[in-house]
Amino acid sequence: MASFLSDVIQYQGLFQMIPVLGIGGTFQIGFQVSTVTYMSQHVKAFINETWLERYGYPIHQDNLLFLWSFIVSINGIGGLLGSSGSRYLAVKYGKRKCLLCSNVLMIAAAFIMGCSKIARSFEMILIGRFMCGISAGLCVPLHHQYVGEISPRKLRGFANSTASFFWSLGKAIGQIVGQRELLGSQSLWPILMASCGVPALLQLVTLPFFPESPPYLLMQKGDQEGCKKAIRQLWGEGHHQAEIDDIMKEMATMKNTKILSVLELIKEPSVRWQLYVLATVTTTVQLCGINAIYFYTFEVLQAAGFDERMISYMTLSVGLSELLATVVCSSIIERLGRKTLISGGYRIMGLLLAGITVTLSLQGWYFWMPYCSLSLIILFVVVFGVGPAGATVAIRVEIFKLACRPAAFVIGAALNWLGVFVIATVFPFIVERLQQFCFLIFMGIIFTSVIIIHLFLPETKGKSIMEITEEFNKLNSKKKCVPATPNHATEDYTFCTRL
């Protein structure tokens, strides 16, 4: 604890910036995920009322289910579009400017959704959700890269894991304000829907006071003075030669290397296994069942036999449990390592999904079985928060060099949002057809992923990007010889040794 407090004092600029990035980044994404659950009944009723006013008859139930699932899933389509442009915009304008623009888009989307009830237009909800997705698709990969690049090696795992903490915090806050006693009522749900603009406004006001990341300023802009200033503002006046050396070594290898495009990265044989690992960990986060539980917690708990009046409070307990779990993850990630947390966490989650399936199947046998289902769901969320949630973010940042990172995050974000869209669209129909056996699909995906991660993911804890790249080169060179990366570590580092 004393060591952590000393780090907070020394790196106070970094610890001030992390909440700013988190609140306007993964916090607002988690906030939107959780508030969707509380708006489900109200938005469906609004669609039915609007349809009746326009056409004189109520909407068919299947069409209502389709429209609601499309409102939930169109966020993923927008996210896919936004993430596709994140590489180009980040390289051209920098991460900070792109984040500020995404905040403006989120505020506009919040205004449109907030006015939907007054305008008697559910189409405005669709438009707003789509715009929110574009903003989030641009914001999330930049947030992860930004946090990873402004953090020294000793705090990199902790800083990266804060993304999952703010995601869980956003979900918990969304669940609190979504209670029917607050904004989750029939009359106030438009305000709840528009409240996603508040964190965007906070970041829009505060982010201009912080610098761009030191690696971006030095390697992509050639701004040595700006790099010095950013390091002093973020890391204080102490001695940071190890981190400076890492930046310089990576810069030396990039002297004749450009920032790769998505297509160039896919074709590049020297990062083939990094891409395989990225695809595995990203798709598993979306297809492990966690988003299905959060998007449709109401339906899952309703299937478990709980009274509808109690479900909103139960979903709040689920969100608070994950929030506490991510705090634990931040404190242990540098001790246990990323690979251990991911593979071990998924093993336990797979077993818990089997348990959830069994308890849902036995609802009518014992009166206490619904409480077993709820306990297993909470435990599932806790294990996800302690293990894969934060560690996956750290892995995605650490396994790619700066030349590959923007394109890699486009690929990761595209897979991420595609998974969001698929789950949000398909899961209600899966529940309707398979009922309690729907979670067996996620269990199969989890155990397949565990095998791949165990065999091919090296531990990245405490290693520099060059050391991690060497680990992957052993895999990449099995089929094709990969020339050794030139190491001009003896290049002149003196420009920022006196900070």
User: How far is residue 293 from each of residues 2, 227, 286, 319, measured CA to CA in Å?
Assistant: 38, 43, 11, 11
d(CA 424, CA 105): 23
pTM, to two decimals: 0.72
- Whole-angstrom CA distances from 407 to 180, 225, 315 are 42, 27, 36
pLDDT of 244 strictly over 80: no
- pLDDT-derived band at 250, boundaries 50, 70, 90: low
pLDDT (average), residues 117-127: 90
Report pLDDT digits (tens) over 28-61: 887 887 787 777 788 888 888 899 988 888 888 8
219 neighbors 247 (Cβ within 8 angstroms) = yes
Of 248 and 470, which is predicted with more confidence? Answer: 470
Distance CA 165, CA 22 (A): 8
| Nearest to 206, CA basis, from 109, 96, 302 | 96
- How many angstroms separate the CA atoms of 78 and 332, rounded? 34
Here the tokens at position 209 are 């006071």
For residue 111, pLDDT beyond 90: yes
E strand or H helix that includes residue 194: helix 189-194
pLDDT at 496: 42
Task: Please state, in angstroms and rounded to a whole number, the distance separating the CA atoms of residues 385 and 382.
Answer: 5
User: pLDDT grade, residue 476 (50/70/90)?
Assistant: confident
Dump pLDDT digits (tens) for 436-452: 677 788 888 899 988 98
Q: How far apart are the first and last CA of the chain?
A: 27
* pLDDT at 484 exceeding the cut of 50: no
The pLDDT value recorded for residue 110 is 92
Residue 319: pLDDT over 80: no
Please state the rounded mean pLDDT for residues 73-94.
Answer: 80
pLDDT confidence of 334, banded at 50, 70, 90? Answer: low
Asked if residue 492 has pLDDT above 70, the reply is no
What is the mean predicted confidence (pLDDT) over 418-441? Answer: 73
How confident is the model at residue 300, as a pLDDT?
Answer: 60
Q: Which of 318, 378, 410, 377 is nearest to 80 (CA)?
A: 410
pLDDT at 1 over 70: no
Of 55-69, 158-172, 190-204, which gets the smallest average pLDDT? Answer: 158-172
What size, in residues, is the chain?
499
Mean pLDDT of the 241-269 span: 72
Banded model confidence at residue 304, pLDDT cuts 50, 70, 90: low
Predicted pLDDT at 86: 78
Q: What is the pLDDT of residues 341-354, one digit of tens each?
A: 888 889 999 898 88
Residue 491: predicted pLDDT: 38
The residue among 400 and 12 whose pLDDT is bigger is 400
Q: What is the pLDDT of residue 127?
A: 92
Cα–Cα dist 249/494, whole Å: 13
Describe the crossing of helices 156-177 and 26-55 by its angle, rounded to 10 degrees: 30
Q: pLDDT at residue 486 above 50?
A: no
pLDDT attached to residue 8: 62
pLDDT-based confidence at 483, cuts 50/70/90?
very low
CATH class of 17-213+257-476: mainly alpha
Average pLDDT, the chain: 78
pLDDT above 90 covers a percentage of the chain that reads 6
Chain segment 256-297, per-residue pLDDT in tens: 666 777 788 888 888 888 888 888 888 888 788 776 676 556
What tokens were used for 385?
């928060």
pLDDT of 497 over the 60 cut: no
When mean pLDDT is compared across 41-45, 125-129, 400-404, 478-482, the lowest value belongs to: 478-482
- Distance, in Å, from the CA atom of 395 to the CA atom of 420, rounded to the nearest integer, reads 20
Q: Region 355-366: what's the mean pLDDT?
A: 77
Residue 481: pLDDT over 50: no
* Span 184-214, pLDDT tens digits: 788 888 898 898 889 899 999 998 888 888 8
Whole-number Å distance between alpha carbons of 343 and 141: 23
- Answer with the residue of higher pLDDT: 127 or 220: 127
Task: Say what the pLDDT of residue 299 is.
Answer: 60
pLDDT at 360: 74
- pLDDT, average across residues 111-120: 91
Q: Rounded mean pLDDT of 302-325?
A: 71
pLDDT of residue 488: 39
Is the separation of the CB atoms in 104 and 50 below 8 Å? no
The structural domains of the chain, with segments of one domain joined by +, span: 17-213+257-476
The whole-number pLDDT of residue 242 equals 65
- Structure tokens belonging to residue 3: 């060591």
